[in-house]
């Protein structure tokens, strides 16, 4: 069988060719990943920088070790398992499954041609990319709850009257703070872990030192966020919500995080000295697997290595391209009639007091604004105005999902939550409600909302996101936000929402069931 000499340039060309072929098959997911990295207000804006660092570390490691290619058939099965996870994510239109499989597939490809002993040196240089993969959002909610608990503990030591409800901290007579997604500390955690991984790769050999630095990075990153949130809340309370720090808290947060890097790198330096004194982790040269074997069999590698990757590339492209328009309606959808025109007068607007949900690229949307035809109720100074909205993703897919970082009920730069409450949405069904207040005025908008995912109602984003995972067991793939907003001068807004929302929710559900399937459940 034909073998190459150990000095052949194909020693580095073959791994690069296999990775390039893999990138072709993964391109739809990589394109979405790149678009997330370009959103500089998200937790993954460091993605391209991490990619460059990973490439530099990988080349540096290759020059130091010079791995010799061969074919290791045992690693074909883990590679195919990772490919199966990716394809399942493509079929179910679950972006997280696709992204989780990216790094394992890359490492699996290298294991196929380098084996375990040679590839293990590249685990950390390549694995650092994990901290730029947008699958960490599932940690956001637990981190929000931890941040709330820490700040509740700190505030309890001060002579301040406050109420904690979920992720909201209320100060009676002053205002309220929402510990939102951006306040979870996820950004700082990912950046801290990335820095710890890079420093470990450049300076440590022992596993103990790397683990210690990772633990320190986690604790200090979370501490930076807890300090940031506490200071903002306290300053907001003391300034009666007028401090400029409230609107400029992102810059303040990064300064606090930069401060926590000082003890992190002091600790990192201590670990370096301790490792040097103990002589722990002395570098070992990886044995040359080709010694005594005279190179590697090119024909076997091509047949058993390149062919599976080529088949995966074709299957991946076929899956994505075949689903590019799956389930999307090309015809005009008849609007739903959610209110009685005899009671509500249509207004030619698509916003209510300047408010409208922030929803990116829904497949279908319907927004209507009405004014009550009835006379104002006693003790009020004007008619009630409402907004009804349905925002639908006919098929959830990468870049177009109901629960997404770019989708939110309100613009946090203009509005703050003042009160949250449950809303009656019909027999046995309770959904969410919130009162929003403009930062620069006393104008308020009261909302009732729910997420209708694949025929099931959910009251919050986390449940709506998790409901997407049942797509394999459900013939429906649609997901919608149904919202009712209300403004009035001095009416019982919460009572009005509880009165109006059950009928509107029922009509919206009937409309969505007619469009996307008759099987629905609560």
pLDDT in tens, 397-406: 766 788 877 7
Is residue 286 included in any domain, yes or no?
A: no
Average pLDDT of span 173-183: 77
Residues 127 and 53 in one domain: yes
Does pTM top 0.75 for this prediction?
A: no
Judge whether residue 11 has pLDDT over 90: no
Judge whether residue 221 has pLDDT over 90: yes
25-34, 302-311, 424-433: which range is least confident on average?
302-311
Is residue 290 included in any domain, yes or no?
A: no
Residues 367 and 269 in one domain: no
pLDDT confidence bin for 195, thresholds 50/70/90: very high
Residue-wise pLDDT tens digits, 71-130? 898 999 999 999 999 888 877 667 788 889 999 999 999 999 999 999 999 999 999 999
Residue-wise pLDDT tens digits, 357-384? 989 889 899 999 998 877 655 555 567 8
pLDDT confidence bin for 280, thresholds 50/70/90: low
pLDDT confidence bin for 389, thresholds 50/70/90: very high
Q: Within 10 Å of residue 1's Cβ, how many Cβ atoms?
A: 7
Please give the Cα distance from 338 to 344 (Å, whole number): 10
Residues 120 and 29 in one domain: yes
Residues 510 and 365 in one domain: yes
Residues 100 and 28 in one domain: yes
Question: What's 374-411 look like in SS3?
Answer: CCCCCCCCCCCEEEEEEEEECCCECCECCCCCCCECCC
pLDDT confidence bin for 1, thresholds 50/70/90: very low
pLDDT confidence bin for 10, thresholds 50/70/90: low
Residues 362 and 311 in one domain: no
How many Cα atoms within 13 Å fall on the side-chain side of residue 353?
Answer: 22
What is the total count of domains within the chain?
3
Residues 107 and 152 in one domain: no
- Give the model's pLDDT for residue 224: 94
Average per-residue pLDDT for the chain: 81
Residues 128 and 165 in one domain: no
What percent of the chain is predicted at pLDDT more than 90?
36
Question: What's 236-299 look like in SS3?
Answer: HHHCCCCCHHHCCHHHHHHHHHHHHHHHHHHHHHHHHHHHHHHCCCCCCCCCCCCCCCCCCEHH
- Give the model's pLDDT for residue 48: 92
Query: Could you give the strand order of the β-sheet that contains 175-178, starting from the edge strand earlier in sequence?
Result: 163-165, 168-171, 175-178
Residues 38 and 124 in one domain: yes
Residue-wise pLDDT tens digits, 479-498? 999 999 999 887 889 999 99
How many Cα atoms within 13 Å fall on the side-chain side of residue 197?
Answer: 21
Average pLDDT of span 263-288: 74
Average pLDDT of span 125-142: 90
Distance of CA 475 to CAs 321, 328, 469, Å?
20, 15, 12
Average pLDDT of span 436-450: 89
Which residues constitute the domain of residue 179?
Answer: 138-278
Residues 99 and 204 in one domain: no
How many Cα atoms within 13 Å fall on the side-chain side of residue 242?
Answer: 3
């Amino acid at each position: 069988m034909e073998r190459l000499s150990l000095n052949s340039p194909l020693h580095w060309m073959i791994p690069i060719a296999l990775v390039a072929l893999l990138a072709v098959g993964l391109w739809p997911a990589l394109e979405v990943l790149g678009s997330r990295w370009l959103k500089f207000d998200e937790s993954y804006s460091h993605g391209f920088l991490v990619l460059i660092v990973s490439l530099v570390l990988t080349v540096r490691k290759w020059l130091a070790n010079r791995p010799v290619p061969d074919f290791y058939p045992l690693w074909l099965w883990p590679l195919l398992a990772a490919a199966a996870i990716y394809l399942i994510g493509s079929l179910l239109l679950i972006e997280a499954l696709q992204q989780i499989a990216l790094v394992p597939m890359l490492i699996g490809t290298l294991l196929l041609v380098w084996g375990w002993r040679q590839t293990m040196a590249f685990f950390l240089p390549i694995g650092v990319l994990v901290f730029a993969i947008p699958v960490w959002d599932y940690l956001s909610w637990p981190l929000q709850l931890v941040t709330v608990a820490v700040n509740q503990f700190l505030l309890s030591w001060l002579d301040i009257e406050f109420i904690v409800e979920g992720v909201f901290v209320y100060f009676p007579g002053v205002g309220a703070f929402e510990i939102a997604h951006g306040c979870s500390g996820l950004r700082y955690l990912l950046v801290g872990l990335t820095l710890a991984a890079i420093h470990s790769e450049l300076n440590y050999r022992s596993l103990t030192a790397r683990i210690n630095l990772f633990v320190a990075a986690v604790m200090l990153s979370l501490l930076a966020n807890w300090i940031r949130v506490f200071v903002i809340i306290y300053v907001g309370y003391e300034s009666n919500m007028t401090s400029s720090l409230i609107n400029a808290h992102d810059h303040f947060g990064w300064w606090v995080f930069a401060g926590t890097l000082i003890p992190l790198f002091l600790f990192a330096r201590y670990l370096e000295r301790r490792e040097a004194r103990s002589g722990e982790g002395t570098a070992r040269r990886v044995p040359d697997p080709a010694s005594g074997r005279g190179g590697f069999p090119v024909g076997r590698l091509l047949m058993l290595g390149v062919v599976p990757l080529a088949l995966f590339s074709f299957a991946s492209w076929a899956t994505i391209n075949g689903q590019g328009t799956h389930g999307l309606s090309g015809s005009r959808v008849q609007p739903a009639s959610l209110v009685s025109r005899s009671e509500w007068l249509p207004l030619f607007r698509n916003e209510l007091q300047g408010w409208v949900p922030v929803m990116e690229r829904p497949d279908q949307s319907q927004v209507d604004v009405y004014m009550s035809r009835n006379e104002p109720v006693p003790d009020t100074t004007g008619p009630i105005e409402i907004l009804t909205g349905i925002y639908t993703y006919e098929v959830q897919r990468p870049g177009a999902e109901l629960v997404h970082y770019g989708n939110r009920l309100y613009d946090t730069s203009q509005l703050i939550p003042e009160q949250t409450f449950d809303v009656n949405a019909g027999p046995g069904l309770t959904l969410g409600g919130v009162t929003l207040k403009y930062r620069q005025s006393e104008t308020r908008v009261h909302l009732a909302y729910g997420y209708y995912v694949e025929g099931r109602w959910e009251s919050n984003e986390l449940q709506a996101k998790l409901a997407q995972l049942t797509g394999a067991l459900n013939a429906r793939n649609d997901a919608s936000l149904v919202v009712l907003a209300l403004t009035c001068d001095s009416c019982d807004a919460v009572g009005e929402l509880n009165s109006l929302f059950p009928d509107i929710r029922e009509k919206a559900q009937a409309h969505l069931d007619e469009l996307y399937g008759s099987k629905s459940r609560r």
